Amino acid sequence: MKKHQSDINPRFVEYFQENFFADKPEELEKFLESLTKPLPKTIRVNTARISVGDFKTRAERNNWTLTPTNNSTVFRIDRTEIKLPLGHTLEHLLGYFYIQELSASMSVHYLTDGKIEDTQYLILDMAASPGGKTTQLSEHFPNSIIVANEPTRDRMAQLVSNTERLGNNRIIITNYDGGFYSNLPETFDRILLDAPCSGEGIGFKESQTVKYWNLKNIHTIARLQTKLLDAAFRSLKTDGELLYSTCTLNKIENEGVVNAIQSRYPDSFEVLFEKRFWPHEEASGGFFVCKIRKNKEIAEIDSEKKPRTIKLNEELIPLTKDHERILSKFTETVGLDLSDYHLFEFKRDILAIRKNTEAKALLQTVFPIRLGQKIGRIEEGVFTPDTRIGRDFELKKTPIYEIRSEKELDDYLRGKEIGDSFWEGYFVLQYNGLDIGLESVNKNGCFTNTFPREWLRR
């Protein structure tokens, strides 16, 4: 149901009139009106999987109209024929794009200046769920390890699902209160803190944000944000950069929080860029960004503070020699090269993460909930591969099965077995030029169906 301006708390109107629009009644009216209108649907192309040009070709083939935005990988999407929900299209299920509002994509855009950075960094996404910004960081930093921290356990499943769908062989997922990272000073080269906030900039959504707005809540949230930004700044390396962002617009949560930390560490804290983006001007949700550099290591101002005890994940161990031999038989059979990966075991799952010296050292100081990419599972001396390795890795010795029709594809994506009269072995399933996954042939001559249950069409 569309909002009306009558749903907006008068105290909200008064605050923004006094602080931003004192002599601009017409602009105030445009701003308030923007909070009642839904935004156009936008998607971000996952350039870790497909180039923008190739995605445009696929979109045209699907009769999708893509309209550019001020972020080169984000497009407004309009579909003339809607046979399936956007989230059930093959391109979405395989992680070629992410449904994301333009404003949500801009934090990473400003952290990276819209560029691809090939340097091998260690990066922290401090409040990561649902995973859009984490996977966007992976695109912009293709040789870096991303630590995706989500403090709320209930939001963890969505983060794991999205990082696995879009590709996660360089992502470590943790579940700490953000303040925990103050225990790891001078650790990260880049940090994204898209802070929990009051959400004024996305008041167009079905929420109570602007209806029940009050300053007491704003100050409470700002105190949390100050704690998080302090922890982020402490864990940032000297000469490192941090992007603090919110999807809110008041000065208490934005400039107020930044100024509090800058006054705490005046010799170390440098603001490189700071801007508020208004929804009625940007045709997106409202948001605030501040890019920060750490100019020198900060002095410890709380010398009596005892370091927090860090619990390690003792079930996460390097791959054993016996399991190395079992895995090598499979990799030789299918032509899979894992020489660029560290391999670990976690509760019989075999996990692979891109080799990175700092990331390996970090595993001695954090407890990962998930690590890199699951490539399979070893039970009772038998390795069972994860279907996604057929999508994410080159399998040089594995034959391809081209799915024969849209109906057969739909059957597979609904959990059914497909194919008939095949011989033993593994096949990479393809459709319309896209690798879908790896499957084996069962005793009936059909392909097993191990496509992830959470992504199936219902």
Cα(306)–Cα(455) distance, rounded to whole angstroms? Answer: 45
The candidate with the shortest Cα–Cα distance to 181, out of 239, 262, 143, 236, is 236
Q: Provide, for the chain, the percentages of residues in helix, strand and coil under a 3-state DSSP scheme, each rounded to the nearest 5.
A: 35, 25, 40
What contacts 27, CB < 8 A, 6 or more positions away?
21, 280
What angle, 0 to 180 degrees and rounded to 10, lies between the N-to-C axes of helices 132-140 and 102-111? 40
Catalytic residue status for 247: yes
What angle, 0 to 180 degrees and rounded to 10, lies between the N-to-C axes of helices 255-264 and 215-235? 40
Cα(264)–Cα(328) distance, rounded to whole angstroms? Answer: 54
What contacts 381, CB < 8 A, 6 or more positions away?
326
Cα(84)–Cα(75) distance, rounded to whole angstroms? Answer: 19
Q: How would DSSP label each residue in 163-210?
A: HHHH--TTEEEE---GGGGGGSTT-EEEEEEE-----GGGTTSSSSTT
Residue of 197, 247, 290, 446 marked catalytic: 247
- Residue pointed to by tokens 């591969």: 385
E strands within 340-431?
A: 341-346, 349-354, 368-371, 373-379, 382-385, 400-402, 426-431
The candidate with the shortest Cα–Cα distance to 431, out of 401, 388, 411, is 401
**Residues forming the active site:** 247
